[in-house]
């Protein structure tokens, strides 16, 4: 299966959608919409602008659910419920433009660290509720592995797959930039056939820099070969900061992901 390159930039969520036309001009097949700021899908004006872009181009779409200040593993019940509500709302509004939505897992708050089993259970219950919503709307809601901040859940493939296993409507997004910050890229590549969706970007193995492919320490030839051999999700989203880096990343993608 050939892998289609999409581009996303969460740094541009407060800008006009005009920049998105450049994604197609760069040569990408699609756009992953970071559904925050001016791109919140439940806002009719925002969604109309997004629809105009998609209808004016050949770009296909995937969606990244909002995550700022949300925690679907919170032991504070109103915060937990609001986190689940916002993710479900995003799934509902994304359903007519895509078949997959990526979401972040929750994290251990100061109080949550005293009750890790409860936190795990709350994250599981959140996934069941989100999965039910996703299934009803014909979407797969994909939980993403996280960066080297210890409080987050889902740093390694065993935890990510174990948390999501058997829940209808729920899949997984493998982020091979995040994995480099925890030295787990090899472990994720070993399970690449289980990924429903893929994010790629570069860094130096310490922080989540979102550099262009080739500007960090990742071995993209090795990664690209493993992904081309085993990944069945069909789409790889380059997450970057601007269109200049998008162009550079696409050159590396075309050389390596074959």
**Which pLDDT value is given to residue 58?**
97
CATH number at residue 25: 3.20.20.150
* pLDDT tens per residue, range 19-63: 999 999 999 999 999 999 999 999 999 999 999 999 999 999 999
- Which residue segment(s) compose the domain that 211 sits in? 4-256
For the record, the structure tokens of 53 come out as 């872009």
Q: How confident is the model at residue 1 (pLDDT cuts 50, 70, 90)?
A: low
* pLDDT tens per residue, range 179-220: 999 999 999 999 999 999 999 999 999 999 999 999 999 999
Number of domains making up the chain: 1
**Distance from C-alpha of 195 to C-alpha of 184, rounded to nearest angstrom:** 15
* pLDDT tens per residue, range 211-258: 999 999 999 999 999 999 999 999 999 999 999 999 999 999 999 998
Buried b (16+ CB within 10 A) or exposed e, 145-157: bbbbeeebbbbbb
Average pLDDT over residues 121-131: 98
Cα 205 to Cα 73, 178, 257: the distances in Å are: 26, 9, 21
């Amino acid at each position: 299966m050939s892998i289609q390159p999409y581009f996303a930039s969460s740094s541009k969520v407060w800008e006009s959608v005009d920049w998105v036309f450049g994604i197609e001009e760069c040569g990408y097949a699609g756009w992953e919409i970071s559904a925050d700021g001016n791109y919140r899908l439940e806002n009719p004006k925002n969604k109309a602008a997004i629809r105009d872009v998609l209808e004016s181009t050949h770009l296909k779409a995937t969606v990244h659910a909002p995550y700022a200040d949300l925690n679907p593993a919170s032991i504070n019940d109103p915060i937990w419920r609001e986190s689940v509500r916002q993710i479900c709302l995003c799934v509902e509004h994304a359903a007519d433009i895509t078949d997959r939505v990526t979401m972040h897992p929750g994290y251990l708050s100061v109080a949550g660290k005293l009750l890790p089993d409860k936190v795990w259970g709350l994250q599981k219950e959140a996934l069941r509720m989100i999965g039910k919503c996703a299934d009803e709307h014909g979407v797969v809601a994909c939980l993403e592995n996280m960066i080297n901040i210890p409080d987050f859940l889902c740093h390694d493939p065993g935890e990510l797959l174990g948390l999501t296993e058997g829940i209808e409507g729920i899949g997984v997004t493998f982020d091979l930039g995040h994995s480099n910050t925890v030295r787990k890229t090899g472990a994720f590549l070993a399970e690449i056939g289980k990924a429903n969706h893929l994010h790629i970007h570069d860094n130096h193995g310490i922080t989540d820099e979102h550099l262009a492919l080739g500007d960090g320490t990742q071995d993209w030839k090795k990664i690209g070969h493993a992904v081309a051999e085993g990944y069945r999700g069909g789409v790889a989203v380059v997450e970057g900061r601007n269109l200049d880096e998008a162009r550079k990343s696409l050159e590396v993608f075309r050389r390596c992901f074959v």
